[in-house]
Structures are given as structure tokens and as C-alpha cells.
Amino acid sequence: MVTGPLGDPVLAGWRMDDQGTGHPVAFIEMAQASGLALVGGAEGNDALAANTYGTGELIALAHAEGAEEITVFVGGSATTDGGLGAQRAMPLPPRLRSTSITVGVDVETYFTDAAREFGPQKGASPAQVQLLTRRLERLAGIYLEQYGVDVRDIPGTGAAGGLAGGLVAVGATLASGFDVLAEAAHLDKALDGVNLVVTGEGFCDANSFAGKVVGGVARWAQNADVPVLAVVGDTDLEPNEIPQHVRLVDLASRFGLDQALTDTEDLVATLVCATI
């Protein structure tokens, strides 16, 4: 039980195991504690008040339970607090010297751009976006003064409304969220002897092959010389924007939206069999 983005108590799951390393490793998904879905989406959110305190509580708990490594996956947040809430809830940097924190991100947004890029989808009005941006700019200056880290110059620190930057300021490192997951799941071994990799998402755009799951899967499969079938709901990509080893099929264009929504499983199975 932790503090939700607008102060209500929420139940947030997290994971601890040794991943075969012999020492405790914790995995935290910030959306479990500070996600937009917890407040009913943009319409139920207070973009100015939403904070990451609950995510900091999870980090503090993982630290208290003996985690030597903590990975925080960021995304789907209700917040644009620059990670200040999380900092207030978690142990101060001197108490985290025995614990390394990795932040898994899938965007390259800079810290002070977080409100402009993500604020509207969290319910922020144009005026609130400007206010949140000024708040992030001031916070970046505070982090530089307190911790000697200029989060304004680091790509990815704007993820989850600047939570990534707030954690970097106190010693965390950024990494590709997909790569962290793939390594934890031993994806390289899973690709041994495989003839085809199937992946997909609802809407496939340029971002899909620049840090998202579809692109991550395609990159790992290419390294293993395995072809990829990407089944998506819809796409705005041109053929020359799709990697050569990827066959991309958008269900809406091929079968129509109604059938894509009602017969998804059968359509995917048919496409896989036809590709093999």
C-alpha cells in the first residue's frame, strides 16, 4: 500500500529476486504507484498536483528489504513533478550507496521538455503546461545545486514527467527499458532455434522502432538472424520506414477495423501460419 498520484492509497505490485546473480534485485513499475490509469485517465487527473511519492515509497521499501539493485521502469505516469515526490519518500543518496538504481526508459525526452511533450495527455491545459515547464526548469537548477547533476543535458530524463531525471540526480543511471527486460527474461536464449518472432502493438509509428517494444524485439531478432512478423492494429509508416527483416501487417487496413477488433486472435494465428 503506497500513496497514489493524487494522495489516495493504492496497492502497487513489485518484484524481488536474484535473477541468478546471487544478490537481491528489485523491479518496480512506476505506473503501479503513480500511473495515469490510477486516477481514471486524463479526465480524472490533476496535472499540477499529481506526484511520484508512491514510487519513492516502493524504492524505499525495496531498499529496506535488502535490494542491492533496483530497476525502475518509467512510463504511463500521471505526474510531471520531476521526481521530487519520489525523492522525498526514498532514502537520501548517502543511504543508497550500497544500492544501485537503474531507470528503464523508452523515450529520449529532455527533462525540461517533459510537460510540453506529455502534459496534454495527462490532462494539462496549455497554461498548466507552461507552469509545469517553469517548475521543471527551477527544479533542474535545484538538482544541479544540491547534487551537482545537470539533468537538462541528459536525453531520457524527461521520461514519466521528469521522474527519470529526479532519480538520475540522486545517482541512478538510465538504460533502455526494453533491453533491461530482455536481459532479465534471457531473450537471447529464447531466440535459439526460433524460425519466426511475432510482436505487435495497437498503433505502429516511427517511435515504435525507436525504443518501443516492437523496435526492441526487431533489433534483438535481427542480431539473432531471425525474421520478425509485426502485427499491429494500424500504422502510418511508409514501406521504406520499416526494417527490412520485419514484415509488418496492420489489421485495420487488411481486414477492416470491425473484423480486426472482433477476430484479432484468429487473424494473428492465420498470419503466423501463412508467414511460416
**Residue 175: CB partners within 8 Å, gap ≥ 6?**
102, 103, 104, 105
Position 210 scores a pLDDT of 77
Closest Cα to residue 168, out of 114, 105, 80?
105
CATH among 3.90.1510.10, 3.40.50.150, 3.30.460.80, 3.20.20.70 for 2-179:
3.90.1510.10
| CA–CA dist 72, 174 (Å, integer) | 10
Ranges in the chain annotated CATH 3.90.1510.10: 2-179
Look-up: residue for cell 536481459? 183
Closest Cα to residue 92, out of 150, 147, 33?
147
One digit per residue, pLDDT tens: the chain, 276 residues? 999 999 999 999 999 987 666 789 999 999 999 999 999 999 999 999 999 999 999 999 999 998 989 999 998 999 999 999 999 998 766 555 678 899 999 889 999 999 999 999 999 999 999 999 999 999 999 999 999 999 999 999 999 999 999 999 999 999 998 888 888 888 888 888 898 999 988 888 887 887 788 888 998 899 889 999 999 988 988 888 888 889 999 898 889 888 888 888 898 888 888 877
Phi first, then psi, for residue 217 (nearest 5°) are -60, -45
Position 102 scores a pLDDT of 95
DSSP-based three-state secondary structure for 233: strand
Reported residue count of the chain is: 276
**Residue 203: CB partners within 8 Å, gap ≥ 6?**
232, 233, 234, 235, 236
